Amino acid sequence: MAVAGGAGSRPMRADARRNYDRLLEEARQAFVTHGTDVALEDIARSAGVGIGTLYRHFPDRTALMTAVFETELDALSVRGTELLTLDPPTEALRLWLRDVALHTAMYRGVAAILMASQNPFTAACRDRLREAGGALLRRAQEAGEVREDTEIADLLKLTHAVLLAAEKSPEDRELFGRLMGLIMDGLRAKTG
């Protein structure tokens, strides 16, 4: 799904690109701090542009949320590629899953709204996450560190479940790490 000014559209002038980038950054911060119901006028004002400029780039709230989410998915994909050279491979996989959890926690409102809609963008998001994490998982499996019957879709679901459990127990600040440790221990390939 291409948004105004995003991938697939014609090149922007430098000032329009700066406005687009500022709007994305302000929207990202606003969604994290205030949730997805933040007034679009407030985002435009924080970016130093008028509401008309915001609407020229993003015709509606969903287009803005989609652009923010795509930017974050790009970062997770890049992070997955960077971690492909980290040893041991199981640690690289663990770090990437932690980053996915942090992303999910920060953008819960955005992710929930976008993932609830049944559109091609939702499937593309899932595919991108599975591709980035799948490469890390395959590397750990090829090194003999992770069980062969493990699938990236299952690891993403488990990570999400652990995140939800940790959110329900905010007083236990170590819960997420402990539960992820149990998952990672359970993934280890059996030897002998």
pLDDT tens-digit profile of 63-110? 898 888 888 888 999 999 999 999 999 999 999 999 998 888 776 655
Taking 70 as the threshold, does the pLDDT of residue 18 lie above it? yes
61-187 falls under which CATH superfamily?
Answer: Tetracycline Repressor, domain 2 (1.10.357.10)
Q: How confident is the model at residue 4 (pLDDT cuts 50, 70, 90)?
A: very low
Give the rounded distance of the alpha carbon of 93 from its chain centre.
15
Residues 6+ apart with CB under 8 A from 145: 88, 89, 90, 188, 189
DSSP 103-161: HHHHTHHHHHHHHHS-SHHHHHHHHHHHHHHHHHHHHHHHTT-B-TT--HHHHHHHHHH
Residue 40 is encoded by which pair of tokens? Answer: 């679009």
Q: Decide which of 4 and 40 is more confident.
A: 40
pLDDT in tens, 117-168: 666 767 777 788 899 999 999 999 999 999 999 999 999 999 988 988 988 9
Q: Residue 55 in 3-state DSSP?
A: helix
Q: How confident is the model at residue 186 (pLDDT cuts 50, 70, 90)?
A: very high
Kindly report the length of the chain.
192
Domain boundaries, given as residue ranges, for the chain? 1-59, 61-187
Gyration radius of the chain over CA positions: 19
CATH of domain 1-59: 1.10.10.60
Sign of CA dihedral 64, 23, 9, 126: negative
Q: How confident is the model at residue 111 (pLDDT cuts 50, 70, 90)?
A: low
Q: Residue 188 in 3-state DSSP?
A: strand
Q: How confident is the model at residue 113 (pLDDT cuts 50, 70, 90)?
A: low
Residue 119, classified by CB atoms within 10 Å of its CB into exposed (0-12), middle (13-18) or buried (19+), is exposed
Task: Please tell me the predicted confidence (pLDDT) of residue 164.
Answer: 86
Q: What is the pTM of this model?
A: 0.78
Task: Please tell me the predicted confidence (pLDDT) of residue 2.
Answer: 38
Rounded-to-5 percentages of helix, strand, coil across the chain: 70, 0, 25
Task: Please tell me the predicted confidence (pLDDT) of residue 33.
Answer: 87
d(CA 86, CA 3): 34
pLDDT in tens, 24-77: 999 999 988 888 889 999 999 999 999 999 999 999 988 898 888 888 888 999
Task: Please tell me the predicted confidence (pLDDT) of residue 35.
Answer: 81
Question: Any idea what DSSP says for residue 87?
Answer: S
Task: Please tell me the predicted confidence (pLDDT) of residue 116.
Answer: 58
